[in-house]
Each structure stands twice: as structure tokens, then as C-alpha cells.
Amino acid sequence: MASGEDSLNGEPIEQSPSGAEDFDVRPSRKRPAPRGTAFYPRKRANTACQVCRARKTKCDNKKPSCTYCLSVGAKCIQSPVDLSSFDPASLKILERLDDLERFLRESKTEQLGPKEDGESRRQEPESDARGCHDSTSGDNSHTQDYYPLRSILPARVEDMLQWPCFSLDHLPEPTLPTSSPDSVATPSGSHGGAGAVFSEPTDMDPQWINRLLDNFFMYVHCKNPILDETSTRKLVRRVLFEGIDWSPASCLTMLVCALGCVSGPFRASPDLSIDSPAYGSSQVFFQAAQKRIGTLLVQSDILGAQCLFFSGVYMMTVFRPMLAWRFFSQALAACQNFPFLTRVRTLSGTSAEAHDAVEMSSRDTREQAVYWSAWKSERELSAELYLPDFSLLNSGSTLYPPFFPTPPDPTAESPDAAPDAQRQRERAAWLFYLSEISLRRLNSRLCREILTLRKRHKSTTCFLEALSEAIPDYEAQATAWTNGLPPELSIHDTTEDDVCRAILRGHLVNLFELIYWPFVMATLDGTRVWLSHSATRELAYRGLETHVNRLLVNEPGFFHRHHGTLFMIKTCTRSAMVLIAAAGTGGVMPPGWDDAVLKATELLGYWANDLPDLARWKAILERHHVTSP
């Protein structure tokens, strides 16, 4: 019998017993040979390690590390599956599946990453104007690092838990509530105390309601000024005088009171814990509002959109993000027929000056405000949630609207003009509102530019080099935004009792995290060739400093409950996880990183009763912080 090497097109040639070839051309009556494993020669098939497969080069499969991975200091990951018994057809199928898996992973890394700003993933030319190409010809130094970064944009905490350095073994499971994490208090709910029963509000003492109104306008409305304070106070007083009915006005009154119960000055708020009387009262008001909100879903007026939006704000305040997203989505849907949007659509494609020339009334101001608030809140949440049917990739334009909301005209005062303190409060709220929107638009634009750079440069080294050249311009834009803030909102002011300044500081840190993120990911992946340039190493270190700075900047608001508390918790947890992962690589760490991680665990421990996942995240940080060098 001929050896297994004697074959034609991969199939053995049968020979006669005497060794002479059989030249009989008559049709054979033999059964066709089976295509099982016994038919193919059993030759062990070596599969290249992941790095060599990504480079599309031959791998010598040495253990524990192949020659190439050993030379560049990369982690050599080889398949643990024994492929020796697989026939060539099966091996070819497995090879194609590996190619598909690699393609899907790279697509997910570069396109489906944490969609923080809802950027459009438009296709860009894959050429490099500077001559840094990804073809196999030419300089080989750039073609040998086609191993994708973990993510191009800051990742969600839930995705980071899948990183190899964060093993979930032997961790206690969180104590789950009797209802789903996104449930709200109901007559049989658990969030208002054991066996709490919520009914219609009965204690409507005018003095207490006035205090709730003051809380709302000083600590909630200042971040999203979508109401007119004077007319809203009149509306609430009228509802109190005439009695609570099933009207939209009563619904808005209940929501204002609910948010007034769980809001307060910018400081630690133990009196607003999940077991506090104030929290329970807020649940009573919120449930009363929800009994009336159904009728608003079939209306297209501004009051319905305002009620839906503040329902979402309340859900975020009590850490129910999925339900908050549903309310924000409904609020945004309710805004689609607003008259000002109709006029904006007619100017689609025109210049910015044409948009600015559109006459806007006081009603347009309120419509624009609720539209913008619902828009940015929905986009902010959709980037944090797993919403397979609402992917930003398929939701049309993901850019910010082409206009800023128009602030109220201070010269157009009504006969019953508001008190000076109220006017100052409204001015400060709108200054913050416009400043935050401008920073978010800057973040959005830089996010889009970074994604475009990645599409142009398939080589990771080329991408990091191109991004490092753009960083000074990005930093200059951030500095220009900071210097352009009005004195009332200057983040250089060391005052720590202003929630608006604290929020802007946190958003600015988010911007710096975004532009340094790819360099930090390069250090965590441990491929030394990407860190051969001093600029790359410096920017990676600067990124780690940003994560330490985030914990310091947000510390004054660690224990303050408001609309953005859950976002702050998640970003601080992300920074702590990045610092732990970076420390595990043995690289140079910024001073204070250890204390920053401890601050994050303290933050998670404080809010653990509000969301079950936080206790598990705290346990993960504590476990890996102890094992970090």
C-alpha cells in the first residue's frame, strides 16, 4: 500500500496487490470510499497562536510561547484543542470559522464599542495619506501589529468584567431583590420598606409642598431647566386648592413633589437613603403620577413630554436605568410634533446662520429645552444599556441636533415678574445647561474623529501614531472650552458645594479619558511593539493619571443622590478597574492610584443597597486590589 503521502488532490490512489497500476477503464462497481476520519491520513495539524494568526504568518507552536511572541514580549495564546484526529475538510472548516470569528471580534471592537456619544460609524477610506499602509508589501514593522485593541472608546463596566484579569470565580453572588432591578415600588414592593403599601398622597400640607417645590427648583431643575418656575408654582398651588384629579397638571405636580423628596444640597445625603421616610414619600408621589401618565401617551402637547421626561429623571435618581430609558424615549417621541422641529426640518441642509435666524418664542424655548433634555438623556443611557433592537448603528443620524436650545429672553418679562432670586436661578440654570451641551458636542466630535482615524489606519501602531499627533489639538479644544466658561461656572473655582460645577468637572474628565483611552488599552494588552515610541508611553501614563483624577474630582459628590449619580458610579468603577488592570502589567503607575481604588470601593459600598450589581463590583475591586503588585 502506498504511503499516506502518495495521493492525488488529497485522496489516496489505490494500487493492485502486485504493485502494478490498474489500467482497467471500466466503471468501478465498488462502493464509494467513506469520507470519515479513517479515510484521511491522520497527520497532526498545528494551529498558529492568536498573534501569528492575526499577523497571517507561520507559527512554530513552541511551548509555552512561540518564537515570535517570545521575541516581542506578547502573550502567546494557543488553542488547547487537539486537532490531530480531524480530517482536512474539518480543519478547513475550522480555519474558516476562525477567520469569521476574528472578523467579528475586530468589527465589534472598532464599531460596537461603548457608544458613549452615539457617534455615527460611517465608512472612511482605508488609506493613509502619510504612507502607512497595511498591505503585506513594504515596511513590515507596521504589518506585524494588526492585533486589535480591546476597545477604541471607553468600555462599559459590564464589558470590562469579561477581561481576563478580572476572574469572577469564588465571588459571592449578590443578594437579589424580590423584584427585578428595574422595578419600582408598588403596593407589594420592597423599596419603600417591608410590606409598604402606597396609596394616594394624603399629607398635602402647603408648607411641606412649598419646601418640596423649593428643593425641586434649586437642586433638580437647575440641571434641566425645561419648566417655567413662575407658572409651575401657580400650577401646583391650583392643584392643591382644587384637589388632585386625573389631569396632566396633577401628574406634573406629583412628579415635582416626588423629585423634591429625594433632592437636596450638594453633600452626603443619608436622609435620602433607600430606607428613609423621604424616599418612601417620593415613591408615594411617583406612583400617584404613574396612575395619571397613561393619558399623556396619546397627547402631543409639551406638558406630556415634560411629565415623561421627569419620570425618567426620577427613575435615574432611584437607580432604575432601564425604566428611565423607556421614559426618556417616550418623552423624545412626544417631542417629534413640536412646531419648532417642523421649522427646523424645513431648514435641513442650510447654514447655521439660517438656523439662528429662525424666530423663537417663549413656547419654542420650553419645547427646545425638553427636546434637548430628552434627546441627550436617551442617548446617554442607550450607550450604557444592552438594547439589541435599538442599536445606535441602525438608528439613523447619531449626531447632535444642528442647533442649541434658545434661552429665555430676559427682557420679555411678564406683568407679574419673577423675584430677583428666581431670575438669578434661571440664568444660572441656563448657563450650566448650554455649557454642558457644548461640552457634550465637543466630546461627540472628538469621538467621531477618533473612530475615523481607526478606520483609516488598520495598523495599531499607525493608528496610535496618528492619534498622538492629534492629541495636542484635542487638548487645546478642551482648554478653550474651559476658559470660555462664565465666571459663575468656572471649574477653577475650588468651591465644592456647587453641583453644576462638579458635573462639568466630571464631564471634562470624561473627555480626557476618551482621547487617552486607546493608549491605555495598548499598555493593558502588553504588546511591547506598540509602546516603542516615547509619545505613546507618555500618553498612556497621562491616561492613567486621568483615571486617578476622576476619583478625586468626583469625591465631593460620592454620596449625593441626583440624576447623574449612577453614571458617576459607573465611570469611577471603570477607572478603578483600569488602574487595577494597569498595575497588574507591572508598568509605572501614577501616584495615588492605590488610594483612588479604595475610594471607588467606598463609593460602591455606600450605594450597594440601591443596586445589587454594586456589591458584586465592590467585591471584585477588593479582591483584585489585594492581589495587585
Q: How high is the pLDDT of residue 116? A: 40
Dump pLDDT digits (tens) for 267-295: 777 788 888 999 999 999 999 999 999 88
The residue to which cell 474628565 is assigned:
509
What tens digit of pLDDT does each residue of 324-340 get?
A: 999 999 999 998 888 87
- Give the model confidence (pLDDT) of 190-241 as tens digits: 344 433 444 567 667 889 999 999 999 999 999 999 999 999 999 999 999 8
Residue 142 has pLDDT above 50, yes or no: no
Which phi-psi region, left, alpha or beta, contains residue 294 (left: φ > 0; alpha: ψ -120 to 50)? alpha
Residues 287 and 279: beta-carbon distance below 8 Å: no
Q: Is the dihedral of CA 242, 247, 250, 256 positive or negative?
A: negative
As to burial, measured by CB atoms within 10 angstroms (0-12 exposed, 13-18 middle, 19+ buried), residue 184 is buried
Tell me the mean pLDDT in the region 555-572: 95
DSSP 415-439: SSPPPHHHHHHHHHHHHHHHHHHHH
- To the nearest 10 degrees (0 to 180), the angle between helices 302-317 and 248-261 is 20
Q: Which residue has the higher pLDDT, 144 or 574?
A: 574
Q: Is the pLDDT of residue 11 over 50?
A: no
Alpha-helical (H) ranges within 488-530 are: 499-525
Where does the pLDDT of residue 516 fall: very low under 50, low under 70, confident under 90, or very high at 90 and above?
very high
pLDDT computed for residue 405 by the predictor: 77
Q: What is the per-residue pLDDT for 202?
A: 64
Average the pLDDT over 519-529 and give the result.
76
Q: Average pLDDT of 41-57?
A: 69
pLDDT at residue 596, as a whole number: 96
Q: Give the sign of the dihedral formed by CA 235, CA 241, CA 242, CA 247.
A: positive
pLDDT at 416: 56
- Which stretch, 264-273, 360-369, 394-403, 596-605, has highest mean pLDDT? 596-605
DSSP state of 392: G
- The pLDDT of residue 360 is 55
257-283 burial code (b ≥16 CB/10 A, e <16): bbbbbbbbebeebeebebebebbbbbb
pTM score: 0.74
Q: What is the mean pLDDT of residues 442-470?
A: 90
The arithmetic mean of pLDDT across residues 599-617, rounded, is 94
Residue ranges of domains in the chain, CATH in brackets? 50-111 (4.10.240), 113-174+430-629 (no CATH), 176-384 (no CATH)
pLDDT at site 167 = 65
Instruction: Give the best-scoring range by mean pLDDT among 32-46, 100-114, 509-523.
Output: 509-523
